[in-house]
Structure 1
Amino acid sequence: MQRAAAANEPRLLLVDDEHEVLEELSEGLDALGIPSRTASSAAEALEIVQRFPALDVVVTDLQMPQIDGIELLQKLAARRRARPLAAIVISGRAALDRAVAALRLHAVDFLQKPLTPEEVALAVRRAFSIVEDSGPQDTPMQSRPRYLEALIAARSDRQALFKTELFADPAWDMLLDLALSEASGRRISVTSLCIASGVPTTTALRRLDDLQAAGLIERMPDDRDRRRILVQLSDDGRQRMHAFLDRQAARIGIRLD
């Protein structure tokens, strides 16, 4: 009933300490049919959330003075336990540890600057759908593609920090890439998968043979280009990857949609 009564009120709060970014984003979203309230600091955002209970989604920058985006989400989670705000975080510098921290605090999406109102509108509409479908709950939601992207990003972080081949595991990397392609509705070819694995093609092809022998993947001709061979998870591989992802997500206190 509360939501019906507040149907005409903005359900979105934008938080950014850069005034020009905030104004451009607000005007762009309004033109796309998504009205919003705005705050130029975390302290102002907390006050607005207190005054306007119809708010369902917050889009916040991570890098802000005094109270940053993570601390803001922590405070919002404490104040809105009965009906948590779905959060979309934006940042100019993606960091895996901060991404995981945001995941724990009801973040449902991550966007990197520079961004357009259209990109934000797409993420906001997804967040509205999650709020409407899930209702009040204690466990934050995260989209399966975004969670997979975070796991894959960890591979690049590991290479950048350790600069070593000690951790090379092309078979596992290829399984993650296949899971992400399926979750995102994309098809992936043998050639693309071998390139993405980061190892010589001969090594990648041997690992694909191993994965197929283990019953985890399938290869088939592309019906739109018979010269191209596609790869996908087998039913068993898909079931095992879903079980793995759900188990890891549960360990950090989130649910995957």
Structure 2
Amino acid sequence: MSTENSVPRVLLVDDDPDVLAELSEGLDALGLPSLTAETAVEALDIVQRHDDLQVIVTDLQMPRIDGIELLQKLAVRRRTKPMAAIVITGHASLDRAVGALRLHAVDFLQKPLSAEEVAHAIHRAFSLVEDETAAANGNPTTLVQPTARPNYLKALVAARADRDAIFQAGLFSDPAWDMLLDLAVAEATNRPISVTSLCIASGVPTTTALRRIDDLKDAGLLDRIPDPGDRRRILVKLTAMGRERMEAFVQKQAGRLGLKLD
């Protein structure tokens, strides 16, 4: 079914036909009809023939022309009517994520992902496109802030997977830094995170994760608070000092890569 618009405004690009079909069907069920392409060449042809397309959701790892090169070509071909880009990948790496950010990708998602997660990113992209169009037509609105900051934080988290794949498993076993990154991403995307979720995401035994949470709390970097919507659940968030120090780190690293984070 389609509840938003019968004309597809979304293009999905992935060389895995199973992923493409599942994501397309899931988005259609959520009222977001889409066109699909299994190669960058096919995607460029579709974009040329469908002027109504506003958002492209593309995999990074593809043969011949990868996602980064595809976005570069689209940036040239759609100068007067640019498309918002969302990049997805199952093999994230920091340099490629930064490349996507330089091309103004509005979101960066890691596989496996759900149709709901992609739909949420698409709705944000639509809002950004509509606000920029209104501003260009002399009717400025309150612009949606770009997602460079959460995307960059997600890229740092993605680099963790690369590190674990390249180096000996368990070599970097202390989860404290990973916890701080996860909390920073959660805050940047307005997503509450519970003690249980943080422990699971750390990838270490729960007892070890809980000890590190205590250590970070004692250091004044995070705090635990009851969930106002469910008093049985405890949420974790950065303290003012934790937020300030993570901000200083992110700004310094982004500056070294030539990125400007608002």
TM, length-normalised to structure 1: 0.69
Match of 1:204 in 2: 212
Q: 2:92, 2:159 within 8 Å by CA — same for their partners in 1?
A: no
For residues 44 and 194 of structure 1, what CA distance do their matches in structure 2 show?
40
Match of 1:186 among 158, 183, 192: 192
- 1:1-257 matches, cutoff 5 A: 9-18=7-16, 22=20, 25-107=23-105, 108-113=107-112, 117-134=115-132, 141-142=146-147, 144-163=149-168, 171-183=176-188, 184-189=190-195, 192=198, 196=202, 198=204, 200=208, 204=212, 207-208=215-216, 211-212=219-220, 216-220=221-225, 231-249=236-254, 251-252=256-257
> Structure 1 pair 105/33, CA: closer, same or farther in 2 (3 Å)?
same
Which deviates more from structure 2 when the two are superposed, residues 94-103 or residues 247-256? 247-256
Q: 2:202, 2:209 within 8 Å by CA — same for their partners in 1?
A: no
SS of residue in 2 equivalent to 1:55:
coil
Match of 2:139 in 1: none
- Unpaired runs of 5+ residues, structure 1, are 1-6
For residues 205 and 112 of structure 1, what CA distance do their matches in structure 2 show?
27
Q: CA deviation at 1:58?
A: 0.7
> Structure 1 pair 29/255, CA: closer, same or farther in 2 (3 Å)?
farther
Corresponding letter in the other structure for 1:150: A
Q: For this pair of structures, how many residues does the alignment match?
A: 244
Runs of 4+ off more than 6 Å: 164-169
Q: 2:60, 2:88 within 8 Å by CA — same for their partners in 1?
A: yes
Task: Calculate the aligned-residue CA RMSD, in Å.
Answer: 4.2
Corresponding letter in the other structure for 1:158: R
TM, length-normalised to structure 2: 0.68
Higher relative contact order (CA 8 A, sep 6+): 1
Q: 1:142, 1:254 within 8 Å by CA — same for their partners in 2?
A: no
SS of residue in 1 equivalent to 2:219:
helix
For residues 32 and 141 of structure 1, what CA distance do their matches in structure 2 show?
24
